[in-house]
Structure 1
Amino acid sequence: MTTTDTTSATTGRTTRMLRLLLRDRMATAATVVLLLVALCALLGPLLLGDLAREQNLQAVNRRPFSLDDGWEFVLGSDSLGRSVLARLVVAAGTTLSVAVPAVLVSLVVGSVWGMWAGFHRGWRENVSMRVADVILSFPSLLLAVVVLYVFDPSAANIVAVLAIARIPVYLRTARAESAELRSRLFVDAARTFGTGHWATIRRHVAPIVLPTLLTVAATDFCFVMLTESSLSFLGIGIQPPDMSWGLMVAQGRQELQTAWWTAVFPGLAIIATTVSATILAGWVRLAGDPAQRWRLTVPRRRRERARTSGTVAAKELS
């Protein structure tokens, strides 16, 4: 296959996936939300970084949804007169700078390790699973609390401890999938023709395991982001003058009676992002599984009609 053919095939798959995505309104809305969050994370610190830190004691606890004081106070201000909107946008960058690297590191390390262990079996698999069991015996949040209490509660340390704590999730998933694929005929055929172990894993095992791993990663992203928010809320996560959604909730909870918006809006941002990631994870699982992809192509009415017909037929047979 030439480079042009490969490019055309990739473009065709991308187009088909995009069409499937646009057919699902919930998945499309979730994608839009996540893209907006990513855009805020990338451009927010550059465009609104100074505004988010600027204090205005004449605009203390301004109520939201009022444009009399300018667009920057559309979501109100906090006890120091800082724009909640600007802080919300800038904090998205800090929150994602912890969640995304932690998920990517654990995904890559755990997936490669798990496929290697599951494909070779034997002592490699036994040792890998015992290591995973040891790490999983410590709850991720508790492990992060202990490590960050001993060391500096910095963003780099949060990424490191969460990445290590989440590696077993991908290791166990990839191990189970690759161990099952190891006995398939196409893998035996590849070994018969002299294909090396890593080449077989890369060409035949990884493409099949990847959709499941991406679904796990999308769900795990929610867990990591909530863990970071919890650590910041407890005071051992992101530290001022940096901003994160969890830290904003922690700072605003003391003013819920007088300025509820300082805690509610970052809390809503956390909820919207995690729910969107969960919805998109379910869509990725269906779109990546050829046996389930028909659910995205068949209209909902036809699916419900087919389900109803199957239920009626089962009752008649019984």
Structure 2
Amino acid sequence: MSREDPTTADDTDDTGPGSDRATADRPTADRPPAARATPHRASWWRMLGRDRAASVAAVVLTLVALVALFGRLVIGDRAQRQDLDASLRPPSVGDGVYGLLGTDVLGRSVLARLVDAAATTLSVAVPAVLCSLVIGAALGLWAGYHGGRRESVALRVADVILSFPSLLIAVVVLYVFSPSALNIVLILAVARIPVYLRTARAEAAELRSRLFVDAARTFGTPSRDIIRRHILPIALPTLLTVATLDFCFVMLTESSLSFLGIGIQPPDVSWGLMVAQGRQYLQSAWWITVLPGLAIVFTTVSATVLAAWARIATDPAQRWRLTLPTKRRGASAAVPPELIP
């Protein structure tokens, strides 16, 4: 019986020590670093759970959203109910649930007014951000993809709007017209459109020269389909991160306008209006002003922290950082996961 040729045996046998199957069957510890399987991509909830600051921020924003959506159904008219005998009562556990955070000068529950104000504040900030996001992103993607004169015109319009401070525009317009929630939403939405327009334009201008966009254009795909299918999904994480940060700015602007007396008007109530109404009682009844101020601070800080987390989570090149244990992130911040022992 003739002996097989070693070269032929090595080529036909896929279970030898140098074959792919043998490498796959070899224990992970015995494989070289390049052959080790990369860790599976962690889910969004797992990445969020490993970041304590982002988790707390997400819980705070969720509570604020739930209070804004369902709080008025629970409190009824308690936010407007007056009781002069209970004027300026400090926070106490002996006055029932609605007395936990004290009362204002008219005896109204501060807790109930905080709940009512949360709905008013978010009903202004969220629509303003969504309107500016949709309009600005659509114009920016369209202008950035086509370029040329359309891009120049869009950028000049954005520059004109940005040349006027948004708070100053809001003050002038609301002083001329009646201050209402709808007018505030329209003014803030128009003032924030250039932010999304310029961001989306930069993303589209960078992506329009990519090979996959050229391939889609070569096959005759319409421009609107290229923007919707190929450019928008890549630019969307950046736009959502900007929107989260812009939510803080819009909410602070609404609170500033209400504090100045040209924003939300009584009998409606917002957090900024509550701060304004209680500032003259700051020494004798601090809770009227401090508590809505803390609500503004906690909400804006939580949105900022969550935006920073979302920026990393939506970046494929940086997402692996969130899969590391918290105690190893500082030392392994610049080391890819396959090189971590």
State if a TM-score over 0.5 links the two structures: yes
Distance in structure 1 (CA, Å) of the matches to 2:326 and 2:176: 53
Task: Give 3-state SS (helix, strand or coil) of 1:291's partner.
Answer: coil
Aligned AA for 2:167?
A: L
Aligned AA for 1:54?
A: R
In the alignment, which residue of structure 2 is the partner of 1:44? 71
1:1-318 matched pairs, under 5 angstroms: 16-64=43-91, 66-306=92-332
Distance in structure 1 (CA, Å) of the matches to 2:134 and 2:306: 20
Aligned AA for 1:277?
A: A
Q: 1:299 to 1:122 in 2, by over 3 A?
A: same
Task: Give 3-state SS (helix, strand or coil) of 2:331's partner.
Answer: helix
Q: Compute the displacement of 1:60 (Å).
A: 0.8
Aligned-residue Cα RMSD (Å) equals: 1.5
Any conservation in 2 of the 1:49–1:90 contact (CA below 8 Å)? no
Distance in structure 1 (CA, Å) of the matches to 2:62 and 2:327: 30
Q: Compute the displacement of 1:299 (Å).
A: 2.0
In the alignment, which residue of structure 2 is the partner of 1:315? none
Instruction: Tell me the TM-score normalized by structure 1.
Output: 0.91
Of all paired residues, the percent bearing the same amino acid is 71
Distance in structure 1 (CA, Å) of the matches to 2:306 and 2:133: 17
| Superimposed CA distance per residue, residues 59-107 of structure 1 (whole angstroms, 9 cap, x where no aligned partner) | 111111x111111110000000000000001110000000000000000
Instruction: Tell me the TM-score normalized by structure 2.
Output: 0.85
Q: Compute the displacement of 1:307 (Å).
A: 5.4
Distance in structure 1 (CA, Å) of the matches to 2:193 and 2:130: 10
Distance in structure 1 (CA, Å) of the matches to 2:43 and 2:223: 32
Distance in structure 2 (CA, Å) of the matches to 1:239 and 1:307: 49
Distance in structure 1 (CA, Å) of the matches to 2:307 and 2:189: 19
Task: Identify unmatched segments of 5+ residues in structure 1.
Answer: 1-12, 310-318
Aligned AA for 1:275?
A: V
Distance in structure 1 (CA, Å) of the matches to 2:246 and 2:143: 22
Q: Compute the displacement of 1:273 (Å).
A: 0.2
Q: Which has the higher helix share?
A: 1
Q: State the 4+ residue runs in structure 1 displaced beyond 6 angstroms.
A: none
| Superimposed CA distance per residue, residues 199-229 of structure 1 (whole angstroms, 9 cap, x where no aligned partner) | 1111110011001100100000000000000
Distance in structure 1 (CA, Å) of the matches to 2:226 and 2:47: 30
| Superimposed CA distance per residue, residues 144-184 of structure 1 (whole angstroms, 9 cap, x where no aligned partner) | 00000000100000000000000000000000011000111
Any conservation in 1 of the 2:50–2:326 contact (CA below 8 Å)? no
Q: 1:95 to 1:308 in 2, by over 3 A?
A: closer
Q: 1:178 to 1:261 in 2, by over 3 A?
A: same
Task: Identify unmatched segments of 5+ residues in structure 2.
Answer: 1-40, 336-341
